[in-house]
Amino acid sequence: MKTIRNRKITKAILAVLVLLVSAPSAFAYPPDNAAVLYYKAFMLYEPPDFVPMLWDYWKGNIESNEKIEEFLKKNHRIIDIILDATRIDHCDWGLDYSQGTEVLLPPHHKARDIFALLAAEARMQADRGDYKKALARCISIYRMARHLNERPIVCYLVGTAINAATHKYLTTRFLSEMPQDIDTLTWLRDEFAEFDKQPYSVKPALRWKLEAGIISMSPERIGNVVRSGLDDGDFKEKILQRIATADEQFFERNRIYWNQYMADVISAFDLPYAQAYSMLQWLDEKPSKEFGENPDATLTVACAPPWQRIYVQHVRLEATSNAIRTAVEVYLTKAATGRLPKSLPSGVASDPYTGKSFQYAKTADGFVLRGQAKNIDKVTFHQYEFKVKK
Amino acid sequence: MNKQRNQKWLDELISRAINTEKPQFDTEKWKQKYANEFQTLLSRAAKGDSARQPSILKVILKSPLTKLAAAAVIILAISFFSAHQDSSEQADTTTVSKITKSPVEMMTAISLERAFRRGGIEAVEKQCEQAFKPIGPWPRSLSVEQILAEFNDKGKSSERTRL
């Protein structure tokens, strides 16, 4: 009798313990998935009726005004939601990858609107002289871009566009405007180092494209993929005709072709710039050229995006990211010694176009980092200008 | 059975609380009570039709032919306006159906890759915007009253909103 009563008490205690342990996690904020907060912000945020003015403001083309200040004040809850989201490591947008290339993507156009809001807020912090907060907003935007970089190529491209705009119009300018404060610069260097442990990368998008293509190259799916993926015309009609009369062997051979093709694409992204550029141009043209003679290339024509164009975006972003990290080291030397260094400190990030350090030169009002990109047909120069506040 | 009895009981209760009998109008009583007002009405009627004869303008306006002509003018004006509307304004509504069939199709990875091939990241964003235009995410303004009205009875939504 006593044992039965003891068991009941033990069960009751266990039940209470389970409730006590699970209750805080059930009602915890923020959630453990950043996407929940992004979706919430996308739903609640309404861009202003003066979007061009807001864009001019965060790009630094105009001064702040009452309208912008009022708008940022009104949307502080949205900003807080996004900032909370960027602090969460895990981000799962809930995409159904079993659909292959027909997977439905999140409303990334809303990410652009939200980016403009955060960028304007960052600019406002800089105007107030709080550069650490302004740079912290930049780091938040980089984290948001990393969250947006889900496996589909389009997600990677949206994140890339947001990163590129942040590099150009926010981080570079804040570094140029702010006094060389050693604490803020050291903090920024540490933030970049922390971020680079899980860098923004094109690799997941490339690997997923390979898998998605294989899923889509089935008799049930391929018709829709071709209809959605190609512009109307004779070429599309020819592909649809081939599919209409195709047997299982046709699909199998096309999957083998795609597998090899994508393996070449993935390897090409790891080559030095000049070789990668030429290799990807050749790979972009290859399936269309072989299409007439080789039916195995048919479905690759329908599924392959313009790789060379994607690669150019990828390298450009990497070059700007590395230039900013190099610039932080230069500013740190200036902050420590009171002078700009004569040459670049050792161990700085390299220029991905050449694989070597950037060329460094002092200018009248700061310094410049230069690089050159050599392709088979042309040589292009790129440079990143940084000013130094006197 | 119980339900019917309850209903009857409820009806009786309401009848006792408020007088629900149909009111009867007693003309003779009314004439006696308001004798002066009744005489005035009689004298107005005797003055003849000339005072109350409608003007020519009223006759024209009330004519069914005039109404028909007015309707025709309005229809012509609307057709003229829409025919001469800016082509760019019209294009916006047709682009969605021209590119793909539904917002869902427009939001697939392969469809957005096609947009990127055609016009870069701007084209991707434009296609996303077009896909979400017809389905939301939210109407610009929606009050709780409107939601309740829609939920209860669609036909009376405007009356309830005014409450």
Across the interface, whether the CB atoms of A108 and B110 are under 8 A apart is answered no
Q: CA nearest A307: which of A144, A156, A112? A: A156
Which residues from B are below 8 Å from A when comparing CB atoms? 100, 104-105, 107-114, 116-118, 121, 124-126, 128-129, 132, 137-138
For A165-179, A277-291, A369-383, B144-158, which range has the lowest pLDDT when averaged over its residues?
A: B144-158
Check residue B153 and give its pLDDT: 58
| φ, ψ for residue A130, nearest 5 deg | -95, 80
Check residue A10 and give its pLDDT: 74
pLDDT digits (tens, 9 = 90+) for B46-82: 554 444 444 555 555 566 666 666 666 666 555 444 4
Across the interface, whether the CB atoms of B104 and A104 are under 8 A apart is answered yes
Query: How many beta-carbon contacts under 8 Å exist across A and B?
Result: 76
Q: CB within 8 A of B124, min separation 6: which ones?
A: A108, A109, A154, A157, A158, B112, B115, B116
For A3-17, A180-194, A246-260, which range has the lowest pLDDT when averaged over its residues?
A: A3-17
Judge whether residue A250 has pLDDT over 80: yes
Q: A385 to each of A59, A134, A179, A388, how far by Cα in Å?
A: 16, 20, 17, 10
Confidence band (pLDDT; 50, 70, 90) for A21? low
Residue B121: list chain A partners with CB under 8 A: 157-158, 160-161
Q: How many percent of chain A have pLDDT more than 90?
A: 86
Q: Is the model more confident about A44 or about A2?
A: A44
Q: Is the model more confident about B86 or about A305?
A: A305
* SS3 state at B69: helix
How many residues does this entry show for chain B?
163
Confidence band (pLDDT; 50, 70, 90) for A19? low
Across the interface, whether the CB atoms of A154 and B109 are under 8 A apart is answered yes
CA atoms of A282 and A265, how far apart (whole Å): 10
pLDDT digits (tens, 9 = 90+) for A265-315: 999 999 999 999 999 999 999 999 999 999 999 999 999 999 999 999 999
Q: Which of residues 217-236 of A touch B (CB under 8 A)?
A: 225, 228-231
| φ, ψ for residue B82, nearest 5 deg | -70, -30
* SS3 state at A368: strand
Please count the CA atoms within 13 angstroms of the CA of A111 that sit on its side-chain side. 32
Q: CA nearest A189: which of A168, A173, A175, A170? A: A175
Q: CA nearest A266: which of A236, A307, A238, A237? A: A307
- Spatial contact of A125 and A118, defined as CB atoms under 8 Å apart: no
pLDDT digits (tens, 9 = 90+) for A56-93: 999 999 999 999 999 999 999 999 999 999 999 999 99
Residue B117: list chain A partners with CB under 8 A: 305-306
Judge whether residue A319 has pLDDT over 90: yes
Give, rounded to a whole angstrom, the gap between the first and last alpha carbons of chain A: 86
For A132-146, A206-220, B64-78, which range has the lowest pLDDT when averaged over its residues?
A: B64-78
Q: ipTM more than 0.90? A: no
Check residue B102 and give its pLDDT: 82
Q: How many percent of chain A have pLDDT more than 70?
A: 95
